[in-house]
Amino acid sequence: MKYMLLINSGAIDANGAAAECGVEDWTAYDKTVRDAGILVSGESLADLVTATTVRVGPDGERAVTDGPFAETREVLGGFYVIDVPDLDAALDWAARCPGARGSGSVVVRPVADFGA
């Protein structure tokens, strides 16, 4: 079953990167996921501190604001889509992710299979 791991950072450094893990942590995790043969896709998002949100009101009017959500300090830093047997396996992989450390978190969501 496919699961998306949404990687949120609660603390960022001066360069806009996750403060509690380094490039070497991500490189090692990336290699482990690839070597396990479970990686479907994954990307790191550029510059954690910039984002733009679009909302369309009932009248069809588009509203564009800076940032993902004004009321949160967490920012979405990237994602992995993995293909593992079940939720327990997905949770194990999420716990290994450097983004789950410290103030970060990894949200695990099953990917909908509309063909099933």
pLDDT value, residue 87: 96
Please tell me whether the overall predicted TM-score, pTM, comes out greater than 0.75 for this model. yes
Span 14-27, average pLDDT = 76
Task: Please list, in sequence order, all residues whose beta carbon lies within 8 angstroms of the beta carbon of residue 18, skipping any fewer than 6 positions away.
Answer: 9, 11, 12, 48, 77, 98, 99, 104
Contact 112, 40 (CB under 8 A): no
pLDDT value, residue 8: 86
Q: Distance between CA atoms of 111 and 94, rounded to whole angstroms? A: 15
pLDDT value, residue 57: 92
For residue 108, give the nearest of 1, 5, 21 by alpha carbon.
5
Q: Distance between CA atoms of 74 and 77, rounded to whole angstroms? A: 9
pLDDT value, residue 13: 64
Q: Distance between CA atoms of 77 and 7, rounded to whole angstroms? A: 6
Q: What is the pLDDT of residues 47-102, one digit of tens each?
A: 656 778 888 999 999 998 876 655 566 678 889 999 999 999 999 999 999 989 88
Beta bridge partners of 7: 78, 106
